[in-house]
Structure 1
Amino acid sequence: MGGSDVRGEEEPAETGGDHRASGATDSVDRAIEAFRAGEPICVHDADDREGETDILYPATAVDPDALAQLRNDAGGLVCVALAADVADAADLPYYVDAVEHPATMTGATAYGDRPSFSLTVNHSGTYTGITDEDRALTISELGGFAADVADGALGGGDGTLADPTDAFAEEFRVPGHVHLLRAAPELLDERRGHTEFAVALAEEAGIPPAVVVCEMLDDASGEELSVAGAREYADRHDIPFLEGEDVVGALQRDTERR
């Protein structure tokens, strides 16, 4: 009863919608706590979009074991989603804007959105860049760069702090083996892809807005892993599983309460 001393009063019954909203919020809260603890979550975007579930991992928490988990258990492309202001600070373009070639995509993808891909990078301390250790280094240092941008440790504008673009160029090399993704500036109000879900949840968790996303594939069919299969995996490994619509609803309700 929220601290009330009244006894014997019945709580008002929840409607079906209220119950679903409460359950969804609880799930999102659990996922946010997992992010804060440096642990992965699973997010299914929507049946009428990609229809895929990705494993999401805070970039600063990624080590070689986490990379092996992504490679073996998910199997898709290992990418790092960056908040728009972090990408802007590093002067990272959209790939389709940077490459002039007859094959460069000029419209939307098959699922209706503009591609969020930017450049590919390796950290300067890597060798080939593809090993679990090398990619984990690249990813964790991307998380560190995002943290520096978010904390105001770069780009003071008065010459007292390092220029973020120069700092990025000192740490990373293009091309590389880690794909960068630029989140839409307005996040879920503008685009509802895994890139935006990842960054929105990171911001809600108060962690650096740099998150690994990796699609879950089915070993037998080679197609995207079914929602049921992804849920079973998440349950087996005690990983929070979220539906995209529940993330949108929970974050909207949180915004309204502020």
Structure 2
Amino acid sequence: MLPILGVQPLDARSSSSSRVGRTSCYLRSIGNLWGRNVTLFSRTSGGRLMDATSEPDQVALAVDAFSKGKPVMVFDSSFRESETDLLWPAQYASPDVIRKLRQDCGGLLFLAIGEEIGNMFDLPWLQDIHVHPALTTLHPVLDLLKTNDLQYDTRSAFTLSINHRETYTGITDRDRALTTRRFGELCDELMESNTSPEKARKALGNEFRTPGHIPVCREAPGGLTARQGHTELAVSIARLAGLRPCTIGAEMLQPDGDGALPVEEARIYAMRHSIPMLTGDDLLKANGLGN
């Protein structure tokens, strides 16, 4: 795992007290990175929303919560998709977590993985598969369906979709929790033991099949320095928390499903459920990037 800000990566399987203590090294230094404040919201005793300037504290709260297997919310940017994701560490996925994502978010559940995990398993981007000459010759429709008109980016982060081999259909909350949790655990086991890519791919194939009901999104090479999408933001918070870069999440939609949940409503949801909420700019700054 890549070290962030000089902090050594934490073992996701270590005790809660150990992870919290070692994550504190990062939390104590994070305030030095901030040269400005942005507006967050807190609720007054009368129920009104008021401005608050607690940016470093909010990042520290998010890092601490995520390191303990608790959720974090991330709003990407008003200049990108203007969407908020609800995120959990993959290895903490349970049927209740999947149910929460499904019922409270409404968007697609996705599993975001870091570049090092993508490299370890040699997972291809779907966009590259679909334009491979051998496949487009065999199936010309793939060339007609190629992605060349994304409105929010230059390429998609989607790679393969997976099911754990012990699932039935793969779609139930229990099935998707098993797929997500075991993928996160397997990544940790293989990276902890420094397993070779060949053995890692065999281990993946032993436990998982494709296609499945958990779409996997792979971080762009260079991470946040190259792309500031939901995938890169989701794995960034995992790294800051000392976990393997493997995060389950979903986009939050309006109740009628006709658009992304407005950021103001997302903040209210975050307050009601005591979930730390960050922006893409917050995570860029926490990684020493941006202005």
* Shorter-chain TM band: 0.7 to 0.9
Aligned twin of 1:42: 73
| 2:222 aligned with 1:152 | no
Aligned twin of 1:171: 207
Aligned 1:1-258 pairs, distance under 5 A: 18-20=36-38, 23-99=54-130, 100=136, 101-107=142-148, 109-155=150-196, 163-220=199-256, 222-252=258-288
1:61: how far off? 0.5
Deviations 1:13-32 (A, max 9, x none): xxx95455983222111111
Q: Is the Cα contact below 8 Å between 2:161 and 2:212 reproduced in 1?
A: yes
Q: Is the Cα contact below 8 Å between 1:194 and 1:213 reproduced in 2?
A: no
Gaps in structure 1 of 5+ consecutive residues:
1-15, 254-258
Sort the Cα spacing of 1:219 and 1:19 in 2 relative to 1 into closer, same or farther, 3 A. Answer: closer
- Seq. identity, %: 39
Partner Cα distance (2:181, 2:69) in 1: 11
Deviation >6 Å, runs of 4+: none
Sort the Cα spacing of 1:230 and 1:19 in 2 relative to 1 into closer, same or farther, 3 A. Answer: closer
How many pairs align? 233
3-state SS of 1:78 partner: strand
Gaps in structure 2 of 5+ consecutive residues:
1-33, 40-52, 131-135, 137-141
- TM-score of the two chains, using structure 2 as the length reference: 0.76
Sort the Cα spacing of 1:28 and 1:193 in 2 relative to 1 into closer, same or farther, 3 A. Answer: same
1:107: how far off? 3.0
- TM-score of the two chains, using structure 1 as the length reference: 0.85
Greater shift in the superposed pair: 49-58 or 22-31: 22-31
Sort the Cα spacing of 1:176 and 1:103 in 2 relative to 1 into closer, same or farther, 3 A. Answer: farther
1:79: how far off? 0.6
RMSD of aligned Cα (Å): 2.0
Partner Cα distance (1:147, 1:210) in 2: 9
